[in-house]
Amino acid sequence: MTQDLSIVQLMLNASWVVQAVVLLLIGVSVVSWAAIFRKVFAIKRVRAHNEDFEREFWSGANLNDLYAAAAQSARHGGPMERIFASGMREYQKLRERRITDNGALLDGARRAMRASLQRELDALEVNLSFLGSVGSVSPYVGLFGTVWGIMHAFTGLAALTQVTLASVAPGIAEALVATAIGLFAAIPAVVAYNRFTHDIDRVANTLETFMEEFSNILQRNLGAQQTTPSGH
């Protein structure tokens, strides 16, 4: 009886619909775990890059030197570095066009940084919708497999003249496995989705704070009538 009711044996004896549902859920679970690990490492990498650049930024380095370094390492740098580079790029382009309106200079730099911020957040949010879908849909897919399995089990019992627990148990058990696999796929996805959403919100707040601080620095430089942003 123990061998007959093992999960592997139950799946081998299940209907093809239940088997398809379980295989689908297992595949989705594997993909979601891969997405979870990639996102964990991606967020850690983003935080490390942001901390390194913020430390260098507030060390008193020259803005032009920081911009030159950020432009060279734009692909390998972090979101904060790329946002800074986009703001400085737009700021310098407007200065080269001999635009003297301080408000126009600041607005241009802020718009460029805001667009760069949105691109960075979009990149961080990749696979989040997939995890949310897995967390919300997987239990229902598993439930569908369970309902189908129970229907299949009771259909098979209709031909029996005497129904016992031993004849009912395998069919019910193989049907419930689908629900268990659905929950196994959904729970980690929901937990990861909530955690990543919180982490990305914190990263977004950090980047927005940096944008405001950098805008204040540009405003002070303009107020001091500096011809080029030499430092802070």
At residue 157, the pLDDT reads 66
Domain range for 69: 7-223
Mean pLDDT by 10 residues, the chain (232 residues): 58 78 93 96 94 89 85 82 92 82 87 94 92 94 88 70 63 82 94 96 95 89 56 48
At residue 175, the pLDDT reads 79
Is 232 within a domain?
no
At residue 18, the pLDDT reads 81
Is 230 within a domain?
no
Do 152 and 158 contact (CB within 8 A), yes or no? no
Is 231 within a domain?
no
Is 137 within a domain?
yes
At residue 134, the pLDDT reads 95
Is 229 within a domain?
no
Tell me, rounded to whole angstroms, the distance of Cα 98 from its chain centroid. 42
Do 134 and 183 contact (CB within 8 A), yes or no? no
At residue 228, the pLDDT reads 46
Distance CA 5, CA 165 (A): 13
Q: Is 181 exposed, middle or buried (0-12, 13-18, 19+ CB in 10 A)?
A: buried
Is 2 within a domain?
no
CA distances from 64 to 43, 84, 85, 145, 221 (A): 28, 11, 10, 62, 13
Count how many domains the chain has: 1
Do 134 and 24 contact (CB within 8 A), yes or no? no
Do 28 and 183 contact (CB within 8 A), yes or no? no
Is 1 within a domain?
no
Cα-based angle 86, 88, 94 (whole degrees, multiple of 5): 105
